[in-house]
Structure 1
Amino acid sequence: MEIKIVVATHKQAAMPKDDMYLPLQVGAAGSPGLGIQRDDVGENISKKHDMFAELTGMYWAWKNVNADYIGLVHYRRYFRGRGVEGFKEIANMDDVQGLLHVAPVILPRKRNYYVETVYSQFAHAHDVMNLDVAGCVVKEKYPEYYSAFENLKNRRSTHICNMCIMRKDYFYEYCSWLFDILLEVGLRLPDNQEPRCLGYIGERLLDVWLETRQVKYVEKSVVCYGVENTVCKGIKMLKRKVFGRK
């Protein structure tokens, strides 16, 4: 079982010393090298990093990585496990293989929005018009997925961070679907968008794909390095709900 998990980073950061992990400089186009694999070689969308964020790394993996299982994590967010050299809490090969024997897809545990829906949370945090444009694209290109998209208005939990490990066929299928939608959305959005606007949409589309395809998955907790805690995030979410989008 060959597993490759891309670790997306845009700056110098400590990386796990394990062959399963592939450090990748995302948004590398026009930037100095970090001494690791860049996402501006081979078929890529590196120049679109401002809008896609870590998803330029997922695109690069889709087009340039060949392994039985392919995944994406962040330089500061990993699936939790028994540890590798330099990182005592992140998943190692045995951890990942064990989970993949249970299901062909590994995802982070869902984030729960107890006081609002996935759709209304997006509206409070971002420009909801962008998500509505994505809905229009889904309805036009993949109408069989549209009812699951509409369910975002009722869901109170979702998988976030664009993190996953998937069997190759699922990874390729998901990426083909996701980027066909997001690249079209990017063409329809007005200029002067907030940074990583398409990355935020991508987070909400994962469950749309999962629900429609009925893909079996297993969830794993995430260990974070240097990321604000969930209490702070919860307070910010409540402020946005009460006072409106920042």
Structure 2
Amino acid sequence: MEQAATKVTILVAAHKPYSMPDDSIYRPILVGAAQHANVPNEHWLKDETGRNISQKNAHYNELTALYWAKYNLKDQEVIGLAHYRRFLGRKMSHQYTALLTQSDIEQGLAQTDVLLPKARNYWIETQAKHYLNAHAKRPLEVLSAVITKHYPRYQAAFEQVQASKKAHLFNMSIMRQADFQAYTDFMFGVLELVDDQLDYAQLTGEDQRALGFLGERLMDVWLIANEKRYLEYPLVTLEKTNWLNKGWHFLRRHFSNSQNKKTHF
């Protein structure tokens, strides 16, 4: 008897019309749909249906798609998140042809627990320093206090991540449903407590999106504390990165006390 195919859904978070992969495992989802009058395409999913936090997209970024998946994709065996411009691939590329296929994903998860983008290494500064060079201090302080008080089992892992010069960013991952539920239980449990304590009127610019940025830091905390195995994959980026410009802003944040810093990185 032929074995049934694994049910795999990789959500592709987008906030505007954009070309999408043809592979059916990649499902575009409009994030912040509660604030958008029209969906770009009738076949797109929307993060405002079922149980959701779509109205909080301005603070959670693409994590509103993960929250939607947590409660509305329980029939799927494997859940993942990509961005409309950024995917996991077999090689670095700017083409959809390099994206991970269902077969690639099944082979990866046969060897490990989580599939992730290659870690970014900042070399000259820790993750804590890197965050504070680019963002307001208050959200990270609240995050640290929440973990210490409410999630003490994760405190050592959080401190390890803060002191590390590497991080798995973008809130991107692919994992089995059971791990996905455990990971999102932790992440949204933490972020909801942080959300309750933040005064967004005191945050400007990109820092309005603090919960999305903090969520990026929680992936490695969860992996370490739960001793999860992972494999790293290159990024397929649909738009080319100006690495000279990115490097300039990174060094400027590191060495300058200027308040006029480019936060999004």
With normalisation by structure 1, the TM-score equals: 0.95
Unpaired runs of 5+ residues, structure 2, are: 1-5
1:235 CA drift (Å): 2.0
Structure 1: which 4+ aligned runs deviate by more than 4 Å? Answer: none
Contact in 2 for aligned 1:112/1:158 (Cα 8 Å): yes
1:183 CA drift (Å): 1.1
1:227 CA drift (Å): 5.0
Alignment of 1:210-229 (within 5 A): 210-229=223-242
CA distance in 2, matches of 1:177, 1:61: 15
1:40 to 48, 54, 75: 48
Unpaired runs of 5+ residues, structure 1, are: none
1:29 to 34, 53, 58: 34
CA distance in 2, matches of 1:100, 1:234: 34
Q: Percent identity?
A: 36
Q: CA RMSD in A?
A: 1.6
Is 2:189 the partner of 1:177? no
1:233 CA drift (Å): 2.0
Is 2:20 the partner of 1:15? yes
Amino acid at match of 1:54: E
Is 2:98 the partner of 1:89? yes
Equivalent residue number for residue 207 of structure 1: 220
1:160 CA drift (Å): 0.1
Is 2:8 the partner of 1:3? yes
1:74 CA drift (Å): 0.3
Amino acid at match of 1:44: N
Amino acid at match of 1:208: V
Equivalent residue number for residue 3 of structure 2: none
Render the CA deviation track for 1:169-190: whole Å, top value 9, x for unaligned. Answer: 0000110110011011011012
CA distance in 2, matches of 1:222, 1:140: 36
Other structure's SS at 2:200 match: coil
CA distance in 1, matches of 2:123, 2:69: 34
With normalisation by structure 2, the TM-score equals: 0.88
Contact in 2 for aligned 1:76/1:225 (Cα 8 Å): yes
Amino acid at match of 1:49: N
Contact in 2 for aligned 1:76/1:227 (Cα 8 Å): no
Contact in 1 for aligned 2:91/2:233 (Cα 8 Å): no
Amino acid at match of 1:184: L
